[in-house]
Structures are given as structure tokens and as C-alpha cells.
Amino acid sequence: MPTVERVALLFAIAGNLYPAGQTYELRGRLAPESPAAVSLFGATTPFHAETPADEQGRFRFRALAPGEYIVAVFIPGKGEVRQTIEIGPGTADDKGRIELTIPIADASAEALPDRAKVSSRELSIPDSARREYAAAQEKLSKRDVADAVAHLQRAVAIAPQFTSAWNNLGTIAYQARQYARADECFRKALEQNPSAYEPLVNLGGVLLNEGKPDEALPYNRFAVLSRPHDALANSQLGMNYFMLRNLESSQEYLEVAKRIDPAHFSYPQLTLARIHLLRKERTLAAQELRDFLHRHPDAPESTHVRQQLAEIEQEIGGPSVTSR
């Protein structure tokens, strides 16, 4: 069973371990039907694409490499819904298509940007810097990471106050396991806009990967206070408490993360399983491992998890009646 440090590292490296080759198509539908702006982000590797959902709430993304992605649906005037989806042979049909239905009744206004908190320095960003940022997003849609980084670096050279560009640079470094650089970029972003949420929660994750749970704790606590319905914030706080050996609080926040986004790329089931194993609750641990395999059949950890599950099932006398 992986330690929490290994689990936390999955934020940054899981997508690099998927087999290359076939590409896939994601076909999505919003329920209830609604037009919306849909973004797709690489959860563990640099990628960004956008498309509108039509009047029937339908959208699609083509030619996707295998890996884990975050689908972000923005409904004007209501808020944003995010959901993790694994793209790969285990979730696709025989034509390489993945069908996804996203319930948008729970769109959260807390995810809407607070324009009143945007600093005057942020508003002063010149068009030339914004064009560099837009060019970087275009490069990321083509997985041209080197050129995307070059555009982002030019953006912050033109406008050092460009919080979003610093955060984007930090995310790319984070996904490349360049934690010192990611730490630097996220702190730069927060210097320019201390109320910015994304670099706050991202810095909390970097500090966990750097093995600094005490320093990470206030960032991860504040992230949950700022956005209690964010799966990433809750999962990171749960992992943070696990690293500090506060199992009760760890389980509480990991369970919240799992309820918000059961397939979240931080794999809350794995840390929950470890908590149950530490408590000698093998049946509950097995249920978490089965849930993980159901949602992440192609994940890099799946082979090890299957072996671990087989060992536990042998100990407890076979699958429990509540398993999938």
C-alpha cells in the first residue's frame, strides 16, 4: 500500500505513466440541459482546451491522450462544477469514446471569481501580456509545453503582477515534479494577489510533496475555509492531516472530497484505505480499494492496488457483500 507521500505525488506524476498510443474522444452532457462554457484541464500533465456546450448541454473533446482530466463547467450567473474523468481503455468503449454526464444542479457560486478582490495591479496587465498568456493556452492545447512556458515567461516579464500566468507556470512545474520552481511561482502569484485561490491551494499541495506538512497545514486549512466544496482542497487537507497522524480529521476531509468528486485525481480512496488498515478495518479498506479500481481501472497504481486487494480479501475470506 503506498504511503501518503506516494499518494500525494500522484498529483504530479500519474499522467506520465499511462501508455501512449491510441487517442480518445470525450462526449459530455449536462443535466439538466444548459448552454455553458466547458474547459478541460490535464489533472497530472499540462493540457488545456475549451469548448461550448450547446443548447442541449452537449459537448465533446477529441484526440485526447490517455490520462486523467478535470472537466470544468461554467454556468453564467450560477457558478462552476468540476469533475474528474479518467480517459483510457478501461473507461472507453470499443470505438475509443467516453460518455460523461455532469449534474449541474450543484453549481457553486463560491467558484465564481470575486471581481471586487482583483487587485489594481492585476487590472493593469497590458494587452501584450494577455496575448502571451492566450498563446500559452493555445500551445497547451497542442501539448507544446516548452513553447507554452516560453509564452508564460514573457507574460510575467511584461507584467510581473500577472497572477494567473505565475500560477500557470507553477502548475506546469508542479506536474513536472519541479517542486522548488512550483513553490516559487505560486508564492509569486500570492505576492501579487494574496486573495487568489488557485495558487493558495496549489502551494498547499506543493508543500505536501516537499514533505512539509506543518508548513502546508495553514494553506490547506484556509483553502477549505475559502471553498468548502472544492474536492482538491478537502483531499489535500485530509492528506495533510494523515501526514500529521491525525487520522480522524484525515478521514473526515477525505470522505468529503470523495463525495464531491468520487474519481478525483488525488485518489482519496487510497489514503482512506490506509487509514482503515492502520485501524485493522480490513473490510472497509477493501471497499475503498474496490471503489478506486472501479473509477481508475487504468491508473498507474491499479496493478499494485489489485495485488493489495487480493491479499486483503484472502485475509477476510473473500469480497464483502457491499463491494462493487
pLDDT at res. 177: 94
CA distances from 5 to 131, 141, 231, 233 (A): 38, 30, 19, 17
* Section 286-300 average pLDDT: 95
Q: pLDDT for 234-265, tens place per residue? A: 999 999 999 999 999 999 999 999 999 999 99
**Lowest model confidence (mean pLDDT) among 56-60, 105-109, 115-119, 152-156:** 115-119
For residues 43 and 202, give the distance between their C-alpha atoms in angstroms, rounded to a whole number: 12
Q: Are strands 48-53 and 36-42 parallel, antiparallel or unpaired?
A: antiparallel
As given in the structure block, the three cell numbers for residue 310 are 487480493
* Section 184-212 average pLDDT: 96
For residues 187 and 9, give the distance between their C-alpha atoms in angstroms, rounded to a whole number: 20
pLDDT at res. 77: 77
| Residue 14: pLDDT band with limits 50, 70, 90 | very low
| Residue 319: pLDDT band with limits 50, 70, 90 | low
CATH of domain 13-107: 2.60.40.10
CA distances from 86 to 44, 252, 264, 311 (A): 11, 25, 9, 26
What is the Cβ-side half-sphere exposure of residue 261, based on CA atoms within 13 angstroms?
25
167's CB contacts (< 8 A; 6+ apart) are: 185, 186, 189, 196, 198, 199, 202
Taking the mean position of all CA atoms in its chain, how far away is CA 318? 33
Q: pLDDT for 269-284, tens place per residue? A: 999 999 999 999 999 9
Instruction: Looking at the structure, give the CATH architecture of the domain made up of residues 162-316.
Output: Alpha Horseshoe (1.25)
Residue ranges per domain, the chain?
A: 13-107, 162-316
For residues 72 and 61, give the distance between their C-alpha atoms in angstroms, rounded to a whole number: 13
pLDDT at res. 318: 66
| Residue 180: pLDDT band with limits 50, 70, 90 | very high
Phi, psi of 144 (to 5 degrees): -95, 80
Q: pLDDT for 74-115, tens place per residue? A: 988 778 899 999 999 999 999 999 999 999 876 665 655 544
pLDDT at res. 79: 83
